Amino acid sequence: MKLIMKTKFDNLRENDNHCYDIDKNGDKQVVKIYSGELLIAKKITLKKSIRFFGVNDYQKYLANEEL
Burial class (CB in 10 A: 0-12, 13-18, 19+), 4: buried
65 pLDDT band (50/70/90 cuts)?
Answer: low
What is the per-residue pLDDT for 64? 75
Average confidence score pLDDT of the chain? 91
CB 12 within 8 A of CB 58: yes
- Chain-centroid distance of CA 16 in Å reads 13
